[in-house]
Amino acid sequence: MLDPKTERLTIERARRGDRDAIAELIHAYQRPLEAFLFRMCGKHELAEDLAQEAFVRVIKSLDRFDDQYRFSTWLFTIGKRLLVNAQQKMKPTADSEVVEYRAGDARTPLAEVESVERGERIANLVEIAIGALGSPQREIVLLFHQQGWSVQRIAAELDMPEGTIKSHLFRARRRMLFAIEQSGAPNPGEVLR
Amino acid sequence: MNIFGSAWSPDPERQPSSRAQRLLVRALLALRSEARAHPYSASDRARAEALADRIMLELPRSVLPIGLAALFIVGVVCLMPLMRDAIAEGTEQRAVPVASVMEHGIRSQGAALSDGFEAMREVVAPFAAGDAPSSDADGSSERTPPADATAFSRS
């Protein structure tokens, strides 16, 4: 992530067609955007494609960018819109895939977690926690815990009162806790080492 | 239907275990690390560069007009002296009246004709001298025919 001043200067250079500035913007935000989109849709390839498309659109229309907002907010908004459009075209949706995966008794979360490496165990744990959330809690949790956005910024972006965001975060954490508990997740010692 | 939707109960007595809480904290930390862009990651940088190249190839519409405008300005500035000279030349040519040009032409033609007359006069002068009435009225001086004329005998 770039600090606001560096971000503004980099955007100015990118507006003038500076290729290196464009590469810097992409390098700073590609990974966070892909991580966000992946956790929203559950598909790596789709997340990568959508992130790339979001960058192409954003950089092509940099002239229309209002400096009073953060670049990342604009980028994530466009990425999210692209995801919504893609999900409308594709069936089944990510949520139903997660349900099917979790419901399959041949691959219970416990059996799966026990058979894979520690990194994959953690990834499964995250998947279980995030998979328990619906809209808009998933997005709020990702923006807050994954992207590190403030409650104020999320409230402004989602056009919701700050109190509602806090309430969603509280409920989402409880929902994730119970999902982890019910999933029969491994001994914390194995994951928390 | 989301099977985890029913997992959360509003029942305040039903509290999650500390084990689940620790796992959730670990999951959230892992989630946070997913979004961190590593400044020295070569693969991430290569991907960013490749995408930047692709975007530059497509040439942003916002940059193209600015570039063209700059090119046009440079072209105009470079051509300015040439255009000024061309305009000045054109103005000078227009300032010469047609009558002057014609007069000049006639004068040069006249001069050429005069030269021609002079040349002819020099050629015919020796012949014309014999026919011309002599200034010697008393006939004391003997007329000498031209050299060419002596070649033919008088009959």
CB pairs under 8 A between A and B: 161
Q: Which CATH number fits domain A94-185: 1.10.10.10, 3.10.20.30, 3.40.50.1460, 2.60.40.1120?
A: 1.10.10.10
User: Average pLDDT over chain B, rounded to whole?
Assistant: 74
- Are B81 and B105 in the same domain? no
pLDDT classification of A67: cutoffs 50, 70, 90: confident
- Are B106 and B118 in the same domain? yes
Most confidently predicted of A178-192, B75-89, B126-140: B75-89
Asked if A39 contacts A131 with a C-beta cutoff of 8 angstroms, the reply is: no
Q: Is residue B26 part of a domain?
A: no
| Chain A residues touching B60 at Cβ < 8 A | 17, 59-60, 62
Distance, in Å, from the CA atom of A140 to the CA atom of A121, rounded to the nearest integer, reads 24
Q: Write a three-state SS string for chain A.
A: CCCHHHHHHHHHHHHCCCHHHHHHHHHHHHHHHHHHHHHHHCCHHHHHHHHHHHHHHHHHCHHHCCCCCCHHHHHHHHHHHHHHHHHHHCCCCHHHHHHHHHHCHHHCHHHHHHHCCHHHHHHHHHHHHHHCCCCCHHHHHHHHHHCCCCHHHHHHHHCCCHHHHHHHHHHHHHHHHHHHHHCCCCCHHHHCC
| Chain B residues touching A149 at Cβ < 8 A | none
Least confident of A29-38, B9-18, B47-56, B71-80: B9-18
What is residue A154's predicted lDDT score, i.e. its pLDDT? 94
Q: Is residue B151 part of a domain?
A: no
User: What is the distance in angstroms between the Cα of A52 and the nearest Cα belonging to chain B?
Assistant: 7
- Hey, are the CB atoms on A31 and B9 less than 8 Å from each other? no
Residue of A nearest to B27 (CA): A126
Does any CB of chain A come closer than 8 Å to the CB of residue B101? no
What are A85's two structure tokens?
């459009």
Rg (CA), chain B: 55
Q: Is residue B17 part of a domain?
A: no
Mean pLDDT within A21-47: 92
Q: Is residue B71 part of a domain?
A: yes
Most confidently predicted of A153-162, B39-48, B75-84: A153-162
What is residue A150's predicted lDDT score, i.e. its pLDDT? 93
Of the two residues A62 and B143, the one the predictor is more confident about is: A62
Residue of B nearest to A174 (CA): B8
Q: Which CATH number fits domain A4-89: 3.90.550.10, 3.40.50.2000, 1.10.1740.10, 3.10.129.10?
A: 1.10.1740.10
| Chain A residues touching B7 at Cβ < 8 A | 132, 175, 178-179, 182
What is residue B8's predicted lDDT score, i.e. its pLDDT? 46
Query: Total structural domains in chain B?
Result: 2
Q: Which of A19, A20, A173 sits opposite B24 (nearest CB)?
A: A173
- Hey, are the CB atoms on A125 and B31 less than 8 Å from each other? no
pLDDT classification of A186: cutoffs 50, 70, 90: low
The CA angle A92-A96-A101, to the nearest 5 degrees, is: 115
Residue whose pair of structure tokens reads 């006069």 in the numeric block: B121
pLDDT classification of A95: cutoffs 50, 70, 90: low
User: What is the distance in angstroms between the Cα of B78 and the nearest Cα belonging to chain A?
Assistant: 23
pLDDT tens digits, residue range B1-18? 333 344 445 455 566 678
| Chain B residues touching A126 at Cβ < 8 A | 27, 30-31, 34
Q: Is residue B116 part of a domain?
A: yes
Mean pLDDT within A113-137: 79
- Amino acid identity of residue B91, one-letter, is T
User: Average pLDDT over chain A, rounded to whole?
Assistant: 82
**ipTM of this complex:** 0.73
What is residue A6's predicted lDDT score, i.e. its pLDDT? 87
The CA angle B121-B125-B128, to the nearest 5 degrees, is: 120
Chain A interface, mutation test: which of B8, B21, B41, B53, most A Cβ atoms within 10 Å? B8
Does any CB of chain A come closer than 8 Å to the CB of residue B44? yes
pLDDT classification of A27: cutoffs 50, 70, 90: very high
Distance, in Å, from the CA atom of B24 to the CA atom of B118, rounded to the nearest integer, reads 123
What are A29's two structure tokens?
């935000």
Domain boundary among B95, B117, B142: B95
**A57: burial class by Cβ within 10 Å (0-12, 13-18, 19+)?**
middle
Mean pLDDT within A146-159: 92
- Hey, are the CB atoms on A103 and B49 less than 8 Å from each other? no
- Are B85 and B104 in the same domain? no
Question: What domain range is B104 assigned to?
Answer: 99-128
Distance, in Å, from the CA atom of B124 to the CA atom of A65, rounded to the nearest integer, reads 98
User: In this model, does residue A176 exceed pLDDT 50?
Assistant: yes
pLDDT tens digits, residue range B93-105? 666 677 787 888 8
What are A151's two structure tokens?
């409650």
Give the residue extent of every domain in chain A: 4-89, 94-185
Q: Which of B44, B58, B63 sits opposite A27 (nearest CB)?
A: B44
